[in-house]
Structure 1
Amino acid sequence: MIVVSAAIWAALATLRHERENHQLRAEKRAAEVAFLKTQINPHFLYNTLNMLFSMAYPVAKPVANAILKLSELMRYMLHDTPDGQVDLEKEIEYLHNYLDLYRLRFPGSFHVQFTLTGEPVGRRVAPLVLIPFVENAIKHGVLDDPKNPVHIRLYVDGNQVQFEVENQRSNANKDATTGIGLPNLRRRLELLYPEHHTLQVGTAKGQFTTLLRLVG
């Protein structure tokens, strides 16, 4: 009976220890995702942009439109969801607002093509999981060559989302900001899509390409 009791106690202790470890891993995962996702707290900036928009609109509508686009970006960043997922349509809208803001900044010299294949309705993804690839292309790519535009391609097929960004590499460092960075992005994908994603990064003939596949 002593041996049996000891075995039962050891089994219960092991089970309790595994549960505690599982809870700690879940909490650590949630903390890491929150840290990697949040680069700034945009509440103050979002409220300030709304104020600036109301001031600028009667005076300069193009400036007001730029402020409005930036405000929409901030609003999306502030949006939170219980399950940590957003509609893919919302993520696409965010990408369009981001690109529109750059078009306002560089009128006539911002050559980026965005194509969508498939039906995004009903699909959900982690928020802000696509934008780092676009930010990276804009930071390091050639944007003013109409013959070699930045290509952004989004494919939706069944339970798979594929996102590809291709750009000609620029020798000039146009933006001193570091953004989220590929190492942090890889880590975030590992946390959000363990064994349900692939990320390929490569350079060939002066073209830099990133290809992300999300499954499930």
Structure 2
Amino acid sequence: MKHISISKKNGLKIIFIFWMIYFLFDIIVNGLSNLEVNRTFFHAKSIFTYTIYIVLLLTILFNYFIIAPKFLKSINWKNIFISLFLSFTFFILIRFVIEQFLTNYLFDIVNYHPKTGVLFYIFDNFHYASFVVFCSFFLWIVIDLIQTHELNQQIEREKSKAEIQFLKAQLNPHFLFNTLNNIYSLVQFKPELALKGIEDLSSIMRFTTYETNKDQIEIEKEIDYIQQYLALEKLRFGEQFFVEYETNIKNKHQHIYPYIISPLIENALKHGVVKDSNQPIKINIDLDSEFCRVEVKNKINVNQKDSTTGIGLDNLRKRLDFYFVNNYVLELKSDENMFNVELKFPVNEQN
């Protein structure tokens, strides 16, 4: 996952920073101790003052990349005991190799007297190892929790994107069903207007095929789609098509998410009454520098028996939840005769 911010590489940087802080802190403490006994700040007692830092760093790396991933993915008392046992054992062995064998071979000196007892050596090294062992495991657990949280967020984002694509796929067949019915009506009853209908359908299909798959489009393209959709419906109903359509758009190049205005119009034409001149379908689209507002009113078709009523609006609400979370308004109002939809969403947050 490319979006994970704490990768293994970044985790290694965190470990190195931790070790450097520990190193500098220990240098400062030793330096202050030297000053108290009238020594220079950087006076070193022996080479073993510095070999211990190598041992500590190796232990941190061993814990982070080997022990913790293997045993602490599932935390229980058994895994904790094994992790601590292996970590302390590694520290003791690696320190023994470096300070009893390597320094003896290179400089003919050792840190512990050759006659030092095994139990005393182990007990004394527990003291030196404890802080780094527990801190290294704590670092790994914190980093792993952050990585897991980020991974879950990435999965949710991918899941949401997949759901949006699925919802769009549901919308296109629904649209095809309506427009093909319109073309069928034109061919059968008004063949002279069929060519115009096919031209509009071609433009509409171009929009649903290419534009709805984009993250954002210019609002002008969605408005063109709506106008072509209305033109196709008007060819179907002829003089009995009563729709009042108004737009007030200050910037026709303003980008919006595709296909979030059109479903409101499609829903009104599909489930409303278009033949009543006294109660026409009213569509108003207003866009300024901050918000887009859409209001659609239609007379309820009491004879509508379509069992798919509401699917388009339900899908639209899910997409709005994904795009804007709670920063939008979608109000559905109905009485015995009229159905009213009001949508308001921000236009600046998307860019």
Shorter chain as denominator, the TM-score bin is 0.7 to 0.9
Query: What residue ranges of structure 1 are gaps of 5+ in the alignment?
Result: none
**Is the 2:167–2:315 contact (alpha carbons within 8 Å) kept by the matching residues of 1?**
yes
Deviations 1:29-86 (A, max 9, x none): 11011001112778xx8xxx9xx9xxx9xxx552111011111111001114786111
For residue 320 of structure 2, what is the aligned residue in structure 1? Answer: 189
Q: TM-score, normalised by structure 1?
A: 0.85
1:187 maps to a residue whose letter is K
For residue 207 of structure 1, what is the aligned residue in structure 2? Answer: 338
Q: TM-score, normalised by structure 2?
A: 0.54
Deviations 1:161-196 (A, max 9, x none): 001100111211175655743222211110122233
> Which structure would you say has the larger RCO, counting Cα contacts within 8 Å and 6 or more residues apart?
1
**More deviation, 68-77/185-194:** 185-194
Moved over 3 A (4+): 80-83, 174-180
1:121 to 236, 252, 256: 252
For residue 109 of structure 1, what is the aligned residue in structure 2? Answer: 240
**Is the 1:135–1:179 contact (alpha carbons within 8 Å) kept by the matching residues of 2?**
no
1:29 to 139, 147, 160: 160
For residue 138 of structure 1, what is the aligned residue in structure 2? Answer: 269
What secondary structure sits across from 2:238 in the alignment? coil
For residue 71 of structure 1, what is the aligned residue in structure 2? Answer: 202
Instruction: Give the % identical residues.
Output: 33
d(CA) in 1 for partners of 2:314, 2:171:
19
Q: Which protein has the larger Cα radius of gyration, Structure 1 or Structure 2?
A: 2
2:217 to 76, 81, 86: 86
TM-superposed deviation, 1:134? 1.1
Query: What residue ranges of structure 2 are gaps of 5+ in the alignment?
Result: 1-131
TM-superposed deviation, 1:2? 1.9
